[in-house]
Structure 1
Amino acid sequence: MVWKKLTSQFFQGNFVSLSNELPERFKQAVQRQQIIGEQLIAGIEFVIVVLFWLLYSLSPKTFSKATGDLANPLFSYEEVVQLVQAEPVPWALSIYLGFAVSRLWLVYYRPKDNWHAHLSIVMDFALLYGLIWCFHIQYQQPPSFYLKAPTLLYVFIFIAIRSLRFEARFVLLAGIVAVVGWLMMVAYVVFSQPGMPMITRDYVAYLTSNSVLLGAEFDKMITMVFVTLILALAITRARFLLIEAVVESQAVEDLARFVPTQVAKNITRAEQRVAAGYGEVREATMLFTDIAGFTSLSEELSPETLIQVLNHYFSVVAQPIEACGGTINQFQGDAILASFNLPTADDDHAKHAIEAALAIQQALAKDQIALTTRIGINTGLVVGGLVGTKDRLTYTVHGDAVNLAARLEALNKQYSTLILLSERTRSLAGEVFDYQRVGEVQVRGRTQPTSIYTLCE
């Protein structure tokens, strides 16, 4: 089934844009990966041309006047001198180096420009085949000499690097240019000297002389074709996987806007489909906030303005909570419920919750809207998990520890404080802060009341 789908996409030409039906933001995410791939390709091309320059600099320049009389029968002494003095290799390398540098600039500073991606394929093989063609001049041999050059292996590098873009059409174009280019190189050898019987069917003669074995050249081109097709099919399949990865990544980001990020990651990584009841029990520190005088504020402001004020308030309060390692579990009216050590583990959760509370008050004191919020903090066993039906789930936290945090937030009004925390939270946080005992509260399930504290300024 998978093979049928892949080959159908490939031979119908749909491999060119397998993501046409994706939402625009998913397409942009795929495009970002392709841009990174094109940057890698441009970098590899630059490295290759520098390598060619190095190899050319170290290679022997075999022509000299002393050996000119032993020269290639294809050229007269004067013609060889002119060809060597013209130095086509440095010229070709210089042109390609300029193109490679321009490509690097384009892919990094104008990444959405794509026209040079196609041109670079032609330039790659023009340079490679041009260098190979020059071998018979450099070494004063018949053209058939260059057909045995090991530099031909770079053909497969130039085809393979196109797979970094995750678009099969670039691999196919590279393969086509490679095959057509080598066919022209072979044709030049065969037809450039019709009076010289260079073609042979003797394999030993082919290996030990400048004879041409057409079967060997066809084998090279067939290999290029198969490597191209295999890579194109692999890239088509890889593109499916890339799109799936992008969609999954975007889904995690979107899901994290509705449930805690760690929960979203756990859901996407779960081996089985999650259901109601998915969660864990852990001691955690709960932070509950509520705006003081919100009822009066909501009566004074229009609904549109009230929403804007709330969103601004939430953004101000959320930042220190997340910076201290907390997870916001609920926005309810003007209240925020956050947890520390659930779902993300945090050994110093009580201390970090208090730090977040202090940072919230400092941020609101500097904010232009000048809202006042009351905060209750409590530590205890909490269950965090998914609740709902099989078709609709939400993440929430439950437990008496959560209820007590909300109760402490409400008691701030009675004690004229802004932050109240329980005995357990104070004990776990240690003597890092200055505490002041303000009273006692009866905790469900306990016969003795527990002390509650505020923080000294």
Structure 2
Amino acid sequence: MPMNDAETREFAAESAARLKRAEEQGLRLAIACRTVVTGAAFAWYVGAPLIFSGFEPRVAAVVVLLIFTAIGIAHLALIGTRYDRWWMKYAVYAMDSAAICATFALVPISRADDVPQIIAFRAYGIYYLFPIIAISCLSLSWRLVIWTGAVCVIAWWAAFLWVALGMDSVLSWGDIPVNATRADYDEVFLSMDFIGRGNRIEETAMIFFAALSLAVAVYRARAVFFAQVASDVQWRRERSIRRRISRLFGTYVPAEIARRLIADDSPMEPQQTVGTALVMDIAGFTPFSAQHAPKTVIALLDRFFADATRAVSEERGVVITYLGDGFLVTFNAPLTIPDPADAALRTASRLLEVARAHDFSIRIGIATGDLASGTVGSDDRQTFTVYGSSVNLAARLEALSKRLGEPVLLDEATRAALGNTWATSHVGDHPLSGFAEALPVFKPDAPVA
């Protein structure tokens, strides 16, 4: 089901909020890592004289490391606050990349004056920049990854050219003869003036390709992230719809049936079981309703039926339908329970208590027998129903209770199904509409302890 405009806006807003939180968390981790590294480098550099005799820290290096550590701490404090700006992370990664490259160009490789700085590029290498690009992936920003890779390439070439252009003479791979001997390689490759321009091209091409690959990976990770957010939004949307339908649907059909139909929209298969039907009616409701305003009557009925339905549900019965001022309840249809007759008697006892609490008198008829249940109707409109001779008999017993003055009446099948759990009394055989012969009728006395 496609999302409407409001749901699309909700998805976009939630995606942006979640992504922002994820980016902030990743950026905090990245900045924390680089701050720990610069802080550790500062501590080591300052404390090195205590370990290595004759080592003299350069003041400029101490100041740079201190500044970089302070910048990292300040940036950590600003991430996620109203002072945070989108460009700050770009500036910090550019600064870190440029600083590493500047180290190769400006920090002397040797204290001897005759050792060219180009040796730093040959002895160490561009792999010092790979951690910067890798850490940038934590931000979940593919743009930042590409930016960091581009800055690394530009800064690396700037540092290399700064050093190479300052040399009096340079040698590179092009200075090796076509049919070079080992002596030719030794003379060029091992020379202090060898700058390896081709190596710099390979290095920067490799690092930028790595940055692009990682940027694609981050982009795909974002796509997965948005798909997950969309799935979560859709799941919450469907859950909300189901809850709303369940509340609305459950107002008009049995709650258990509503939950089944919402979980599986296929029609419920007809089923036939042996169960117990209970029909309840409020005594004297017609004169009662004539003496009160309709709004008052409906409000009183709503409160009574709410408590009565709760009592039915707690005994695992299902209210199939409301019959004006009463209702039909079934046990073991459509929900299977092991003791439908006993559950019906317990429910009847509780309903009498509920009725007294609401100043109502009620009549109840209970019958046990075959019950058929299922959905009936057209393709456009269906309803759930339960039918069978026991439903009709329960209704007749409820009507008979008015003549006999008994609040609860049972048929013989219900009495037999109770076994020895309830004491009952025979109140005679009575002719009932729809039944050819007079049927024995019983009333419950009390549950047997």
Q: TM-score, normalised by structure 2?
A: 0.66
What are the ranges of 5 or more consecutive residues in structure 1 without an aligned counterpart?
A: 6-17, 103-115, 160-177
User: 2:164 matched to 1:185?
Assistant: no
| 1:420-431 mapped onto 2 (5 Å cutoff) | 420-431=409-420
Structure 1 position 300, deviation (Å): 1.5
Deviation of 1:319 after TM superposition, in Å, equals 1.6
Distance 2:197 2:233 in 1: 45
Q: Determine if contact 1:317/1:360 at 8 Å carries over to the other structure.
A: yes
Superimposed CA distance per residue, residues 37-94 of structure 1 (whole angstroms, 9 cap, x where no aligned partner): 9799969977996899799879992432365999999x9323234236x444455445
* Alignment pair present for 1:358 and 2:349: yes
Distance 2:211 2:20 in 1: 28
Which is further off, 426-435 or 214-223?
Answer: 426-435
Which runs of 5 or more structure 2 residues have no equivalent in the other structure?
Answer: 106-125, 162-195
Q: Does the CA contact (< 8 Å) of 2:280 and 2:327 recur in 1? A: yes
The corresponding residue for 1:79 is 63
Question: For residue 316 of structure 2, what is the amino acid of its counterpart?
Answer: G
| TM alignment of 1:90-129, pairs within 5 A | 90-93=73-76
Tell me which residue corresponds to 2:40: 61
SS across alignment from 2:40: coil
**Secondary structure of residue in 2 paired with 1:387:** strand
| 2:267 matched residue in structure 1 | 274
Give the partner amino acid of 1:320: A
Instruction: Report matched runs for 1:304-319 at 5 Å.
Output: 304-319=295-310
Q: Tell me the residue number matched to 1:296.
A: 287
Cα distance in 2 for partners of 1:325, 1:205 equals 76
Work out whether residues 71 and 77 of structure 1, in 8 Å CA contact, stay in contact via their aligned partners in 2: no
Matched to 1:64, the amino acid is: Y
In the alignment of these two chains, the number of paired residues is 385
The more displaced of 309-318 and 284-293 is: 309-318
Q: Residue 133 of structure 1 contacts residue 146 of structure 1 at CA under 8 Å; is this kept in 2? A: no
- Give percent identity, aligned residues only: 19
Q: Which residue is equivalent to 2:440?
A: 450
Match status 1:20 vs 2:5? yes
Shift of 1:291: 0.6
Change (3 A) 1:57 1:180: closer
- Calculate the TM-score normalised by the size of structure 1: 0.65
Shift of 1:132: 10
- Which of 248, 271, 276 does residue 254 from structure 1 map onto? 248
Deviation at residue 282 of structure 1 after TM alignment:
1.1
Change (3 A) 1:21 1:57: closer
For 1:302, the aligned partner's letter is: A
The structure having more radius of gyration, on CA atoms, is 2
The aligned residue for residue 257 of structure 2 is 263
Q: 1:346 to 1:264 in 2, by over 3 A?
A: same
- Map Cα deviations across residues 278-307 of structure 1 (whole Å, 9 max, x no partner): 421112221111010012112212333322
Q: Distance in 1 between matches of 2:157 and 2:403?
A: 107
Contact residue 39 and residue 65 of structure 2 kept, 8 A: no
Amino acid of the residue matched to residue 325 of structure 2?
D
- CA contact 1:320–1:356 (8 Å) conserved in 2: yes
Match of 2:222 among 204, 228, 231: 228
The amino acid that maps onto 1:179 is: W
Rounded to whole Å, the distance in 2 between the matches of 1:48 and 1:440 is: 85
Query: Do the aligned residues in 2 keep the contact of 1:203 with 1:213 (CA within 8 Å)?
Result: no
Distance 1:89 1:269 in 2: 53
Distance in 2, matches of 1:215 and 1:236, equals 31
Q: Which residue of 2 aligns with 1:338?
A: 329
Letter in 1 for 2:382: L
Superposed CA RMSD in Å reads: 5.1
8 Å CA contact 1:132, 1:151 repeated in 2? no
